[in-house]
């Protein structure tokens, strides 16, 4: 009786080890030491460059190089806008955790029908129009023009929506979808 039992135990243990071996071996398609996943879709940097007819530029930059969490993002505005002036604007989204930095604007452009930028300012006479369209003829908003009115101070907000309703009434609220970018800059419009 005892013999049979010990035999059984051995068999059971053997089964135990064989199956665990089999499982360990089939579970190692991922090596453990280098599992460092780079944030591939991360947008670390938003640069909105505005240039007037004379080549003067104002650059609005948002940077959050360590992504979500960690240090909060920072904004920088290179200077003031001039009143009653037209600027041509272009926006650039970068992932600077990659080397060289990945240009995410290209992806947005490729999937233009699934994306749209929205620009709003609390300075009411600033007008921003979108000059580019997606394959369905709806605006994307990578290429813009910005016209200033009277002098004032306020903020400018850039929103990028993923899978918005297109066409929409021009506001990000109406567009719905999910927000991929929402950054706000403190801006100033001055008389020269």
Partner 1 sequence: MKNILIAICFLVSTVVISQNCKYILKGEVIDFHNATPIEKAVIKIINTNTYAVTDINGKFTLTNICDKSIKIEISHLSCETKTITVNIEEMPFQTIFLEHHLDELDEVVVSANTRTETTSIEQSIKQQTIDNFADKSLGDALNTISGVSSLNTGNTIVKPIIHGLHSSRLLIINNNVRLFDQEWGDEHAPNIDINASNSIEVVKGANTLKYGSDAIGGLILIKPKKYAAIDSLFGSSLISLNSNGNGGIINSEIIKTYKSGYYAKLQASFKRFGDFKAPNYYLTNTGVQSINTSLTMGYNSFEKGFNAYYSIVSNEFAILKSSHIGNVNDLVTAINNEEPSIADDFSYTIDYPKQSILHHLAKVEAYKRFKGIGKLTAQYDFQINRRKEYDLRRGDYSDTPVIDLRLFTTSFQPNLLIDAIDDFEINTGFLLRFQQNDAISGTGVSPLIPDYEKYDAGVYATANYKMDLFNDISAGVRYDFSRIEAVKWYNTTDWEETYNYDELFPEFESGTTDNSETLTYPEFTFHNFSANLGYTRHFSNDFELFFNYGLASRMPNPSELFSDGLHHSAARIETGKLTIGKEVANKFMFSLQRNSQKFGFTISPYYNAINNYIQLIPAGITTTVRGAFPVWEYEQVDARIFGIDVDLDVKLNSKFNYSGSISLLQGDNLTDDIPLIQMPSTNFSNSITYYNKNLNQLSISLNHKTVLQQKRYPDYNFYTYNATVDDYVYVDISTPPSAYSLFGFNSSANFKAFKTGTLKVEFNVENIFNTSYREYLNRLRYFGDELGRNFNLKIKINY
If one asks whether residue 37 binds partner 1 (CB under 8 A), the answer comes out as yes
Under rule CB under 8 A, which residues in 88-107 are in contact with partner 1? 97, 104, 107
If one asks whether residue 20 binds partner 1 (CB under 8 A), the answer comes out as yes
For partner 1, the closer CB: 52 or 98:
98
- Residues 192, 187: Cα–Cα separation, whole Å: 16
For partner 1, the closer CB: 86 or 174:
174
DSSP 112: G
Q: Where are the alpha helices (DSSP H) in the chain?
A: 2-26, 104-110, 172-175
- Pick one of 62, 81, 87, 117: the residue that binds partner 1 (CB under 8 A): 62
Distances (CA, A) of 136 to 42, 113, 140, 142, 143: 27, 7, 10, 16, 17
- Pick one of 25, 178, 191, 192: the residue that binds partner 1 (CB under 8 A): 178
If one asks whether residue 40 binds partner 1 (CB under 8 A), the answer comes out as yes
CB of 172 to partner 1, least distance (A): 6
String of DSSP letters for 65-80: TT-SSSSPPEEEE-SP
On whether the CB atoms of residues 143 and 132 are closer than 8 A, the answer is: yes
- Residues 83, 191: Cα–Cα separation, whole Å: 5
If one asks whether residue 173 binds partner 1 (CB under 8 A), the answer comes out as yes
If one asks whether residue 76 binds partner 1 (CB under 8 A), the answer comes out as no
- Binding region for partner 1 (CB under 8 A): 5, 8, 12, 15-16, 19-20, 23, 27, 30, 32-33, 35-41, 43-44, 46, 62, 64-73, 97, 104, 107-108, 110-111, 115, 118, 120, 122, 154-155, 157, 159, 161-163, 165, 171-173, 176-184
């Amino acid at each position: 009786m005892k013999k049979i039992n010990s035999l059984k135990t051995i068999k059971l243990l053997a089964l135990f080890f064989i199956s665990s071996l089999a499982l360990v071996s089939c579970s190692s398609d991922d090596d453990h030491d280098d599992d460092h996943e780079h944030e591939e879709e991360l947008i670390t940097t938003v640069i909105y460059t505005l240039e007037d007819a004379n080549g003067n530029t104002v650059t609005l930059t948002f940077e959050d190089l360590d992504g979500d969490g960690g240090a909060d993002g920072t904004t920088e505005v290179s200077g003031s806008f001039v009143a009653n002036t037209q600027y041509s604007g272009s926006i650039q989204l970068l992932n600077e955790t990659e080397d060289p930095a990945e240009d995410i604007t290209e992806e947005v452009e490729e999937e233009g029908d699934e994306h749209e930028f929205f620009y709003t300012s609390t300075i009411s006479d600033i007008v921003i129009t979108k000059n580019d369209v997606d394959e369905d003829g709806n605006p994307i908003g990578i290429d813009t023009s910005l016209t200033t009115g009277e002098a004032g101070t306020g903020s400018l907000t850039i929103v990028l929506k993923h899978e918005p309703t297109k066409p929409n009434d021009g506001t990000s609220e109406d567009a719905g979808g999910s927000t991929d970018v929402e950054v706000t800059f403190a801006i100033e419009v001055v008389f020269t």
